[in-house]
Every structure is written in structure tokens, then in C-alpha cells.
Amino acid sequence: MVKNNILIIGSGGREHALGWKLKQSPKVNNIYFAPGTAGTELVGKNTDINPFDFESLIKFVKENSIDLTIAGPDDVLASGIVNTFEKHELKIFGPTKEAAQIESSKAFAKNLMRENNIPTARYKTFTDAEKAKDYTRKHGAPIVIKASGLALGKGVVVAKTINEAISAINDAMIKKVFGDAGAEIVIEEYLEGKEVSIHAFSDGKTISLFPTARDHKPIHDGNRGPNTGGMGTIAPLSEISEKEINEIKEKIVTPAIQGMKKMGIPFTGCLYPGLMMTKDGPKVIEFNSRFGDPEMESYMRLLETDIFEILNACVEKKLSEINIKWSKKIACCIVLASNGYPVSSQKGIAINGLEKFAHDPEITTFHFATKKNGNNFVTNGGRVLGITATGETLNEALKKAYSTIGPNGIHFEGMQYRSDIGRL
Ligand code: AMP
Ligand code: GLY
């Protein structure tokens, strides 16, 4: 059998989960990460190449006979890594810079939705702060203020009061806290309902939906406190019916992929719409052009088909030839974050107890941001670890994952986590 060498770009829990799954493929030989984390070294080799240094990445790919590269992070995709690799006729999984605009430019995404009748919140874009404030005062709260460009998941304020909305506009447009990403803002109708994450593999024409998932964005229990990159996931969601999944496919994912194909910018990679299940049906909150983190950690525990074959089929535009199978179990991921997150993070804090579960077949711990200090792992950022488990029921999965956390299990000083993942 032909064995393939893989390069994964990025350094989150998502990349660790992807590498962990790829390692199980009989078609995969060496797995490299650029730059990776101490966790990714458990499944492959790290290189210290900067993900934005495309020239060095290409040199590495050629020198190490890499057969397939997978680009994880949104900003690397938006910078055109896929365009550059394709110019060199190198295989890479992910959307081109143009297609990645579905995430990198909220204005582009909103246009696509309008042109293709994809349900989403009503909105208006502004480049003038005073006009934005007038519009906000006229509409009243709750209202949602979003920086149009990429702002590392922090560019969205769900304002409960007019004052909150005005200060969000000031932050983005006057104080420029998101830099250029906030030069243009989108002001959006507040959507009420439960949030659902949808992922779909796409080769530009064919799509294949993952099971549904739910992320938990705010830092504290009860969805309180500031938004984070995501504090935990469950998949699939028992309350979403087949009928609703079909509605999501027919009204949202298919028209988005078809719409982009029609525009001459086909989307290859993973399309990840964040949805709100409103009383009028599913509506798009945002589109992401990549795998979710920590959605991927739960998903990789459920995927039964060889992921190399899927990613390769997307790149070769042969997704229709693959039948993707998912386990019937339920998976969860509980994120352990460092003290101060999401505002700040503490690095170098010793992590205890990892070894207790290292060989437990029920538990897989993915590393978001860790470093090795001698033989021990220490924290190296905001979100530190994602503990995953599966079960026949959600309760069983959650019980297993939570039972690993605490003074007798996995813990570190200042550790924060939500105790209500899967409970909302
Ligand atoms: P985003 O970065 O666009 O996913 O937004 C971050 C979070 O803000 C989402 O996960 C939602 O919880 C919330 N949010 C964004 N847009 C809206 C909206 N129009 N209505 C209600 N909540 C929203
Ligand atoms: N799950 C949040 C994100 O990946 O954006």
C-alpha cells in the first residue's frame, strides 16, 4: 500500500485531534506539524516553521516528500496558503484565499447569503461610526456588533443594552482594538434560540455533513462571561431531528457551496456554519472556512472512515466516491483553560495527572497549548487541554470526561473549566 506523508499547519487542539486520527490510517506514514504543540509531538514531529512563511513550508514539503498538507487556522487560509501550494502543484486541503472570504469577510458571507436566499440575521454594514451609532439607537437592544474582518473570535459583541452596543462600536471603529478588522462593522439582528455547529466536507461540488455539534463559547457556566474560542463540545445533538438536518443541508450548506461554485470560487475544504435554531428555522450566525476547535476533538472520536481518504478525496474532487461513516455514540470534549483566559493566560504552570489517563482507551486528551518541561507538560496559553470521551449516552460520555478532572486527576493551578458542557 502506498504510504503518504502529511504536514498539518497550526497549533491547536484541532490539529492534535486531526493528527491523532490520521495516525490511525494505514495509508499514512510520517506526520509533521508546523509549528504544533507539545501534544502534537505525541502523534508526529513538530517543525518550527512559521505557518505564514509559505516559502519555507514549500521547501519543507519538497524536501520531506509530503503528499498532503492540511491547513487548520483561518488566518493562514485567508493569507492564501492554498493558492501558493496550488501554484506549486502541491496537494493541500483547504479553501483558496478567495473561498476563505466566507469566513474572513463577514460582508462577503452576508452577500453570498443574500444572493442565495440563505436564512441569516438581518444586517447592515458600516464604515462610519456615527452612522452605525444612529442605526443602533434606532433599532434598540439586544443587537449584535461584529468586526467585519478576522478578529480571532473576539470581534463579536452581543449587546444587551444600547450603551454596550455604542461602546462596542467605539472599540472597533474609534479605538481600533481589532486593528483593520474593525474598519468595517456589521450590525446584526439578535437571533434567539439554541446554537448548533454544522461541519461539511466539500470538494467544491459534493458535500458530506458531519454529525451536529454544540460548542459552548462563554467562559462561565450558564453561558455567562466573555466569549472564548470555545470551552467544550458535544456531538451529535439529540434534539436536532433528521428533518432539521435536511433543512440545514437544503437551505444552508448546499446553496452556499453551489453559490460559490457559480461565482467561480468553489469551496474545497471544511465548511463550518454556526447556526441558531430560531422559531423560524435554522439561521446562519457565521460561516467558518475550516474545522472547528473544539468541535474537531469530539468529531475525531466519532469518525469511523479513514480521514486520509476523505481529505484526499476532497482535494482530488472525488468526494462523491466516498461513503463516510460516523459512530452512533455520543462524544464530548471538556476544555481546561488557564487562569485569566480569555483576557490573558498563564504559561509554564505544571500540569498534573495526564499520565493517569495516557493509556485509558476511553479517554483521549488533546493539547491546545502545552509545552514540555523536562518530562512534564506545562501550560503554554489560554486554552490548555481538551479532554474527550465517548459513551452510548451523553451522560455516560460526560461522566467519563469529568471524572478525569480534579485534584486526583488532571489539574493545574488556576485551571478553569465549565461544569455544564452538554447541559444547556
Ligand atoms: P461569531 O464569531 O459570529 O460566531 O459570534 C460569536 C458568538 O456570538 C456566537 O457563537 C453567538 O453565540 C453570538 N452571536 C453572534 N451573532 C449573533 C446573533 N445575530 N444573534 C445572537 N447571537 C449571536
Ligand atoms: N468552535 C469555535 C471555532 O472553532 O471557531
Q: What's the whole-number mean pLDDT along residues 290-301?
A: 98
Q: Within this chain, do residues 23 and 88 fall inside the same structural domain, yes or no? A: yes
Distance (Å, rounded) from C-alpha 317 to C-alpha 312?
Answer: 8
Whether 21 is covered by a domain: the verdict is yes
pLDDT at 410 over 90: yes
Q: Within this chain, do residues 217 and 316 fall inside the same structural domain, yes or no? A: yes
Whether 289 is covered by a domain: the verdict is yes
- Give the CATH number of the domain where residue 143 resides: 3.30.1490.20
Q: Within this chain, do residues 184 and 199 fall inside the same structural domain, yes or no? A: no
Please count the other Cβ atoms lying within 10 Å of the Cβ belonging to residue 1.
5
Q: Within this chain, do residues 201 and 156 fall inside the same structural domain, yes or no? A: no
Q: What's the whole-number mean pLDDT along residues 68-91?
A: 97
- Give the CATH number of the domain where residue 9 resides: 3.40.50.20
Whether 419 is covered by a domain: the verdict is no
Q: What's the whole-number mean pLDDT along residues 269-296?
A: 97
Three-class SS of 5-55? EEEEEECCHHHHHHHHHHCCCCCEEEEEEEECCCCHHHCCEECCCCCCCHH
Whether 62 is covered by a domain: the verdict is yes
Confidence of residue 94 (pLDDT cuts 50, 70, 90): very high
Q: Which residues contact 280 (CB under 8 A, 6 or more apart)?
A: 119
Q: What is the pLDDT of residue 151?
A: 62
- Give the CATH number of the domain where residue 199 resides: 3.30.470.20
Q: What is the mean pLDDT of the chain?
A: 95
Domains identified in the chain, total number: 4
Whether 33 is covered by a domain: the verdict is yes
Whether 422 is covered by a domain: the verdict is no
Instruction: List, in sequence order, the alpha helices (H) in 90-219.
Output: 101-104, 106-115, 129-139, 162-169
Q: What is the pLDDT of residues 111-131, one digit of tens each?
A: 999 999 999 999 998 999 999
Whether 169 is covered by a domain: the verdict is yes
Please count the other Cβ atoms lying within 10 Å of the Cβ belonging to residue 120.
24
Confidence of residue 150 (pLDDT cuts 50, 70, 90): low
Q: Within this chain, do residues 206 and 179 fall inside the same structural domain, yes or no? A: no
CB-facing half-sphere around the CA of 143: CA atoms within 13 A: 26
Q: Is 422 left (phi over 0), alpha (psi -120 to 50) or beta?
A: left
Q: Which domain holds residue 221?
A: 193-321
Last residue of a domain, one of 285, 304, 321: 321
Q: Which residues contact 130 (CB under 8 A, 6 or more apart)?
A: none
pLDDT at 202 over 70: yes
Q: Within this chain, do residues 200 and 311 fall inside the same structural domain, yes or no? A: yes
Q: What is the pLDDT of residue 180?
A: 81
Distance (Å, rounded) from C-alpha 372 to C-alpha 9?
Answer: 20
Last residue of a domain, one of 321, 343, 365: 321
Distance (Å, rounded) from C-alpha 341 to C-alpha 350?
Answer: 17
Q: What's the whole-number mean pLDDT along residues 203-218?
A: 97
Say if ligand 2 is within 6 A of residue 381 CB: no
Q: What's the whole-number mean pLDDT along residues 165-189?
A: 89
- Which residues line ligand 1 at a C-beta cut-off of 6 Å? 121, 144, 153, 156, 158, 188-191, 195, 217, 227, 274, 285-286
Least confident span in 111-125, 173-187, 249-263, 390-404: 173-187
pLDDT at 153 over 70: no
Whether 346 is covered by a domain: the verdict is yes
Q: What is the pLDDT of residue 154?
A: 62
Q: What's the whole-number mean pLDDT along residues 101-105?
A: 92
Confidence of residue 304 (pLDDT cuts 50, 70, 90): very high
Share of the chain above pLDDT 90, in %: 91
Q: Within this chain, do residues 272 and 348 fall inside the same structural domain, yes or no? A: no
Task: Give the number of whichever ligand sits closest to the CA of residue 74.
Answer: 2
Lookup: cell for 221: 457556566
Least confident span in 176-190, 236-250, 384-398: 176-190
145 CA distance to ligand 1 centroid (A)? Answer: 9
Say if ligand 2 is within 6 A of residue 230 CB: yes
- 369 burial (CB, 10 Å; 0-12 / 13-18 / 19+) is buried
Q: Within this chain, do residues 204 and 149 fall inside the same structural domain, yes or no? A: no
Say if ligand 2 is within 6 A of residue 293 CB: yes
Task: Give the number of whichever ligand sits closest to the CA of residue 150.
Answer: 1
- Give the CATH number of the domain where residue 385 resides: 3.90.600.10
Q: Within this chain, do residues 307 and 197 fall inside the same structural domain, yes or no? A: yes
Give the nearest ligand 2 atom to 291 CA. Answer: 4
Q: Is 65 left (phi over 0), alpha (psi -120 to 50) or beta?
A: left
Last residue of a domain, one of 80, 96, 112: 96
Least confident span in 11-25, 176-190, 270-284, 324-338: 176-190
Q: Within this chain, do residues 202 and 230 fall inside the same structural domain, yes or no? A: yes
Whether the pTM exceeds 0.85: the reply is yes
Confidence of residue 132 (pLDDT cuts 50, 70, 90): very high
Lookup: cell for 329: 455514540
Q: Within this chain, do residues 198 and 317 fall inside the same structural domain, yes or no? A: yes
Mutational test site, ligand 1, from 156, 198, 278, max ligand atoms within 8 Å of CB: 156
Query: Is there a cis peptide before residue 95, judged by omega within 30 degrees of 0?
Result: no
Q: Within this chain, do residues 257 and 282 fall inside the same structural domain, yes or no? A: yes
State the DSSP H helix or E strand holding residue 156, giving kind and residue range, or none if neither.
Answer: strand 156-159
pLDDT at 152 over 80: no
Q: What's the whole-number mean pLDDT along residues 248-255?
A: 98
